[in-house]
Structure formats: structure tokens, C-alpha cells
Amino acid sequence: MKRETFVFSQKKVDYLFDASFNEIENFFPKEKIIIITDDNLFKHHATRFEAYKVITIPHGEAHKQQATIDNIVQQLLAFEADKQSCIVGVGGGVVTDMAGYAASIFKRGTKLALAPTSILAMVDAAIGGKNGIDVGPYKNMVGTVHQPDVLLFDYSFLSTLPTEEWVNGFAEIVKHACIKDADLFDLLQQNTIEKFMADKAAIAALVERNVAIKTSVVLQDEFETGDRKLLNFGHTIGHAIENIYHLPHGHAVSIGMVAACNISEEINNFYSVDKEKIVKLLEQYRLPVKINIDTDKIWELLLMDKKRNAGNMNFILLNKIGDATIVPIGLIQLKQLVKESL
Amino acid sequence: MKRETFVFSQKKVDYLFDASFNEIENFFPKEKIIIITDDNLFKHHATRFEAYKVITIPHGEAHKQQATIDNIVQQLLAFEADKQSCIVGVGGGVVTDMAGYAASIFKRGTKLALAPTSILAMVDAAIGGKNGIDVGPYKNMVGTVHQPDVLLFDYSFLSTLPTEEWVNGFAEIVKHACIKDADLFDLLQQNTIEKFMADKAAIAALVERNVAIKTSVVLQDEFETGDRKLLNFGHTIGHAIENIYHLPHGHAVSIGMVAACNISEEINNFYSVDKEKIVKLLEQYRLPVKINIDTDKIWELLLMDKKRNAGNMNFILLNKIGDATIVPIGLIQLKQLVKESL
């Protein structure tokens, strides 16, 4: 187990890499721990949770809504939780988001630990303190920025992760390579998803490298006034696609990244040959790069996006592989670009 | 208008004393302002709000629940509110709490201004960034600590404040005197509530003095790890009484303060003669000092209180008038003390 400490504005966060889940007890009194997980994960790992109070929520993005939070709050009251209680979110991005949000509002804030169990949650969702719930069809409309006290990476949870979810997670890994790390891009080109699924040391190193990228971006810009927006590469169009076509997050982001590459080529002098490299890498990691799509519907939903700002939308484009930039694009031009890019 | 700026950990807060409500437009673009107020206040001051987007919520503590927040979120979406929107809570403590909470969670945080319109909200609820909603019968079980950008004091709103609400507010003013300001205690002894209701300059000065007391306590201890707890004087038992007997907040706190004085006398060498002075002052400001009460029920609810900590409860006691202290009391002893103090 390797421990690193990062100091955020609100608190310091302990990252525990290559840890065993029960090491959480070294950080919080056992009787103050309340686990939030989903029914799927609970089914696979019930014995790990035997010693703790557990709140189980239904799995899937459809339940990332206020009704589930209402239910969590009732159970926290029943457990007589207080500000010294530690909510431990164990699961994928939906669980870590819900646990983070619950911990930030219950009694104005309890202790929080997150143990991400999917690649996506490990390299992205669980890091940086952002949480959120959806409001009807609109994603992450309500939430807070609330850092966990502890982030625990127990790679043994990955043994039950479906292949589909490995693929999903690699969309964010390719994203990190595209916006920040050309060497990581090379490394990904030289490997396959099967390699990482079979080699525990390789996936551990890859997760740590991606956690470092995301953490460094967040530390430089915790409240998303600047550089943190780069992490939205592929996500603006991706979220709209995800919403309308109910694609898995990674699939939608993959298509969104290709669209953003097309726009980068169109207005940001991004090389066509680099775009082709990115498309090829996404396909290599089994991610889709195109779908038949109603671009008018996508545009309608884009207009509801959080990132809109008066007559412009801030869009993340690539300069080259490993180097991204924020470009405000006028809505009229953007509508045309989106149409052509998909 | 007088402007002071205080720097909290998250942001600086501009206090605008003796201001006109529409001066809010000097701080935020008019089209980004969304007012949250209640139906009572809207009825009395509709013309002041004509130029703005307005969300009206039903008045009263009974509506300080998640269902009202759900409704506010839907209306914010309909107004296409974003992170640059400024939610302006105009009303008493319920409204400023709801507006503050909504602003802290909508799109992970919008701009926030509060224009408290009751004495209680001016000297207490609107200051310090704490917000909260009730969960069923349990008060402020969910909320955040989120400072407003602007606090605007327009005393002309007090013209429509019912006498009952003036009385309520003075409970918190007497509390500030008891825990922090013996000179203020003297000043209150030399005046009456009628005097303050009739004299705009006197109430303005009194509000400013009380705002200064609360702000100074909060600045020293924004996240309530120490001295801020002193502001709970009279509130632990007060909240329980308020809950069970549905008394107005100020009435319940007044009775709670008398109980805390009795306990202070019993175990903290607080002079009986000072206790009598406090009882007399509360009566002078038309506040109740005793009710017939089921102490078992009160005790049951106390055990659910946020301030409980393992086998102890932190209780605020007086050393003398103007000087308070935090005393952890064992639950067994406290049960007996509460029984005898009421």
C-alpha cells in the first residue's frame, strides 16, 4: 500500500494505492463507518461488507436522482449517523457521486472515503471532489465540490468488472492521453485492453498514472475556473449523445472525442493524421467512433449544458496529441460545426 | 449605504448596511438575478420584485423540506439558470436557508445574495453561511456551509414585520448579549421592544451591532469546530421544545436559555442573581420563560441532536453575563439536569 497526501483548499486527501479494502479501518473507527454501495457490487462482494453498516442503492445511472438521496438520508438517520461518521462510497461513478453528495449535505458534512471499483471511477469519477445527481434527463444538475478524506484503490474489485465496463473506463484514459500526456498515448498504442485486464501490475501502474494526471489538473484549478475544463474534452457532445441514445458513458465520450477532433481539425489546425491516430486507438480499445445521429436533437440538449455562457460555448479542442485548449465558439458557428463533425 | 467586506475561507462577503433592495443591481447583472421569496412577503412587496425573475415558495417552517428544494430546482432549470446566475433570497430565516442551500447545490454552486427581512434573519440566520432543510421532524439535518457573495440589509422591509416576529428576533439578540456582550445586555435593559420598533436609527444600530457579534464569532470558527458552538446557547433544548410544541423559534430559544441558565447555576457557578436578570430581560422583551412540558419527550429528541458526541453532549453554559463556555456533559447527568431545569 502506498499513501500520498494532497492538500486541497478544504482539506488534505489521502490516496491509498494498491490497498486492501479493510485498511479503511486504519483511518476511521469501525463503528463510525457506513458503506454506500449498489446491489450489483454487494451481490459480488457481500463478505467484504459483513463487518459494517451498509446502505445499498439500486445500480445504474437511472437511479442517480434525488429520490435515492432521500432514501440514503433516511437510512443515515436510522443509523444515527453524525458529523464524525464516515460515509464510504464503494462502487462505480454513480455510487461515488451519490456517496460524495450525501456526505457533503448530511448534517452539513460528514467524513467521506471513496473506494472506486471500476476503471472509470478509479481514473476519473472518484477524483477531484465533484459529485452530482441528475435532474430528470439533465446530468449532474445538482451537486457540490467536496473532497473525500480518503481515496482507496483496491484493484481486487476489478476481478468482477464486466469487459464492457473496462472498455468504458479506457475512454477516459485515452482522453487523459489526448489532453495531457503524449507518452501515455504511445504506451496505449503499444498495448491492448486484454493485456491490462490480465496484468495486475500493468493496470495498477496505468491507474496510478491516470490518477496523477487528473489530480494534477484538479489541484491547479479546484473550482473549475480554467484548466480543469480541459477534462471536458469529448464530454460536451458526449453527454448529449449519452442522454438521447442511452449509450454507456465511455462510448458516448469516445464519439464525442472524435467529433471534437473533427472540430479541432476544422478550426484549430489540428493535423488530420493525429486525428486518425486517435480514431485508431479508440477502435483498438473497442470503443465506437461514430453513430447515426439526429444532430438537431443533440444541439437542443447542448444548449441546456452547464458550460454555456451567454452567446458562446467553451469547447475543448486539441492543438496536438497531449495538448488541449479551451476555445469559446459562437453558438451559430458551433451549431454548424457540430452538424458536420458527427 | 455602508459596505464592509469580510474574507471567509471560500470567498469574500460584502455586507451592505442600510441599503435599498434595488442596490443589488450594482453587484449582479439584472438579467442574472433570480429572487427566491415566500408568498407572504411577495404579497406585501410585489412592486419591489416586478423587474426580476421570481421564485415564490410557500411560507413557514413546514415547507423547509426537500420537496420545496425540488420545486426550486425545476424553476431554476426553467429560467435556464447557470453558475453565473445570482440567487437572491429575500425573506426570513426559512427563505434565506432555502435560497442558500439551493445556491450551494444547483450546478454545484451559483452566486448568492441574501436580503434578510426579519430581525431573526438579519441578526442570525442570514449570517455565517450555514443553511439547511428539515427532514421530517428533524431540523437542519441536511444542508451546507456556503457563504453568500452579498448580504443586503434593507430596514424598510421591517415595516411589514408582525410584532410576533420582532419578539422572535429579540431572543437571538438577548442570546448574543448573554454569550458575548455585557454592554449590549445593559443597553437592552434600558430599552423596550416598542422603542426599537418605532426608532429606525436605533434598530439599525442594534442590527449592525448584532451582525458584528455573529460575524466575528463565525470568522474565528467558520466550520464550527470550537467557539461557533457558543451560538447554540439555548438552542439545544430550544430546538427540542420547538419541535414538539411547535412554538415560534424565539419563544423556544428563550425557554431554552432559561434552562441553560439553570444548568449553569447548578454545575458552572453561574450566579443566581444574573440568572434572574436574564429571566427579567426576556420577559421585558415579551418572551416566554417557562412552559409545562413533558421532559421525557424533550430528552428523546435531544438524543437525536447533531451536537451529540459519543457518551457526551456539548452544552453551552454561562460563566457570567457576556461570557459563555462549552461543557461536555455525560448523558446520564445531563438527563437529570434537563429534567430539573425545565
Is residue A147 domain-shared with residue A248, that is, in the same domain?
no
Is residue A156 domain-shared with residue A183, that is, in the same domain?
no
Range of the domain at A285: 175-341
Is residue B281 domain-shared with residue B133, that is, in the same domain?
no
Measured over the CA atoms of residue A212, residue A216, residue A218 and residue A222, the dihedral's sign is positive
Inter-chain touch B141–A109, beta carbons under 8 Å: no
* Residue A127 in grid coordinates: 477524483
Averaged in consecutive runs of 10 residues, what is the pLDDT profile of chain A (342 residues)? 61 90 95 97 95 96 96 96 96 97 97 98 95 91 94 95 96 98 98 96 96 90 77 94 90 97 97 97 97 89 70 92 95 91 88
B226 touches chain A (CB under 8 A): no
Report the CATH number that the domain containing residue B131 is assigned in CATH: 3.40.50.1970
Is residue A146 domain-shared with residue A230, that is, in the same domain?
no
Inter-chain touch B142–A309, beta carbons under 8 Å: no
Does the residue A128 lie in any domain? yes
Is residue B310 domain-shared with residue B186, that is, in the same domain?
yes
Q: Per the structure, how many domains does chain B have?
A: 2
Does the residue B285 lie in any domain? yes
Q: How far apart are CA B312 and CA B310, in angstroms?
A: 6
**Out of A73, A109, A306, closest to residue B107 by CB:** A306
B104 touches chain A (CB under 8 A): yes
pLDDT tens per residue, range B181-200: 999 999 999 999 999 999 99
Inter-chain touch B135–A74, beta carbons under 8 Å: yes
pLDDT confidence bin for B308, thresholds 50/70/90: low
**Out of B73, B80, B140, closest to residue A142 by CB:** B73
pLDDT recorded at residue B311: 79
Alpha carbon of B82: minimum distance to chain A alpha carbons (Å) = 6
Is residue B143 domain-shared with residue B183, that is, in the same domain?
no
Q: Which residues of B touch A143 (CB under 8 A)?
A: 105, 107-108
Q: Which of B160, B195, B218 lies at the terminal end of a domain, its last residue?
A: B160
Cβ contact B174:B281 at 8 Å: yes
pLDDT recorded at residue B200: 94
* Residue B8 in grid coordinates: 471567509
Is residue B203 domain-shared with residue B315, that is, in the same domain?
yes
Q: How far apart are CA B260 and CA B317, in angstroms?
A: 6
Residue of A74, A105, A110 to mutate, interface with B, max B Cβ within 10 Å:
A105
Is residue B281 domain-shared with residue B192, that is, in the same domain?
yes
Is a pLDDT exceeding 70 seen at residue B144? yes
Cβ contact A260:A316 at 8 Å: yes
Q: Quote the ipTM score.
A: 0.89
Does the residue A167 lie in any domain? no
pLDDT recorded at residue B151: 94
pLDDT confidence bin for B228, thresholds 50/70/90: confident
Is residue A135 domain-shared with residue A191, that is, in the same domain?
no
pTM: 0.91
Is residue B126 domain-shared with residue B209, that is, in the same domain?
no
Residue of B7, B69, B108 to mutate, interface with A, max A Cβ within 10 Å:
B108
pLDDT recorded at residue B2: 59
If one compares B151 and B9, the residue with the highest pLDDT of the two is: B151
Is residue B152 domain-shared with residue B216, that is, in the same domain?
no
Amino acid found at B51: A
Q: Which of A102, A132, A160 lies at the terminal end of a domain, its last residue?
A: A160
pLDDT recorded at residue B304: 73
Does the residue B167 lie in any domain? no
A11 touches chain B (CB under 8 A): no
* Residue A37 in grid coordinates: 454501495
Is a pLDDT exceeding 70 seen at residue B309? no
Cβ contact B51:B24 at 8 Å: no
**Out of A83, A130, A142, closest to residue B306 by CB:** A83
